[in-house]
Amino acid sequence: MSYAGSNPDPFDPSGPSGPPPPRRSPLRRPLTVALAALVPGALLGWLAYEASGGTGSGGANGSGAASSVLSSPANGEDGAGSRGGAGGDGKTGAGTGTASASSSAPAAGSGADSLRGKVVVIDPGHNPTNYRHTADINREVDIGTNRKECDTTGTSTNSGYSEAQFTLDVAHRLRTLLQRQGATVRLTQDGDRPFGPCVDERARIGNAAHADAVVSIHADGAGAGQRGFHVILPGAVHEGAADTRAIVAPSKDLGKLIAGDFTRTTGTSPSDYVGDGTGLVTREDLGGLNLSTVPKVFIECGNMRDTKDAALLTSGAWRQKAAQGISEGIVSFLHG
């Protein structure tokens, strides 16, 4: 393209200083006619050769350019296509076609449906609006061994980040991870009710779901300077409405696996103030455990009242690691 006032292009045939147009060769027309006569004959000969079982690139060996393109990794392993992008659902992305579906098929056997048929109940501790309903949450309920408050407001960091906010965020992240592997996941509350549920109802939700595993997510409110996480296991309780004898052993297995994976994934250490460094604590005074008839544990992910632990608990990246660690422990337990 030329602009007014610009220098003429010496290689532009339309320009004032361009070279003269080439002269046509007197042999051009006879050669064109000859080629037009030869091409159909050559094409017919090639078709006859293929029909007789030729071994060219599209012959008996079944390869050929089209097959090579379909089997190329570039057509089905680009992440955003065959592997479902950030969602990771293993479904074929738009425009990737059959080749993408074929190349992504192994993903289904490597974990996408590994928890299909399993039910996991996640119990986010407390409720973000419990503080508005003190009379309701202070009402006592039967926990088997005695009576206890329906629920509490939970603790918070010195900056005001509440335990209830923390537990719900981790629960959402954990739910996503487990659902990607095919599990049916239910939450005892999702910020969708004014308070609670009460501790006895939390247990009943897991029982009614016939859950294969239940995890109650919490963060502790211990003294400043005390750090680390711990997993709470149910003790052997057989009193009143409580009978945990059948779930003590599987709950301990679940707790050990979660503790190990939580340490590895988050890089944090077991509690230095309870559990003697094991990260495991057994209790018989928690209604959510006493009334459970399915394997269940609590995890206190850290101490919100310690500034170093609080820095972790308020980090979205660290909460994702926490959810990953809990998820991996659950998956290992469910796989047996």
Residues annotated as catalytic (active site), given as ranges: 300
Cα dist. 134→26, 195, 212, 218 in Å?
104, 9, 33, 20
Q: Are 166 and 124 in contact (CB under 8 A)?
A: no
Residues 6 or more apart from 123 whose CB is under 8 A from it? Answer: 171, 187, 188, 202, 205, 206, 214, 215, 216, 217, 288
Chain centroid to Cα 202, Å, comes to 25
- Three-class secondary structure of residue 233 per DSSP: strand
Q: Check if the beta carbon of residue 313 is closer than 8 Å to that of residue 202.
A: no
Both tokens of 243, joined, read 């009978």
Calpha distance 229→250 (Å, rounded): 20
- Return the SS3 of 161: coil
Strand-pair partners of 296:
214
- Let me know if 322 is exposed, middle or buried by CB neighbors in 10 A (0-12, 13-18, 19+): buried
Q: Are strands 184-187 and 119-124 parallel, antiparallel or unpaired?
A: parallel
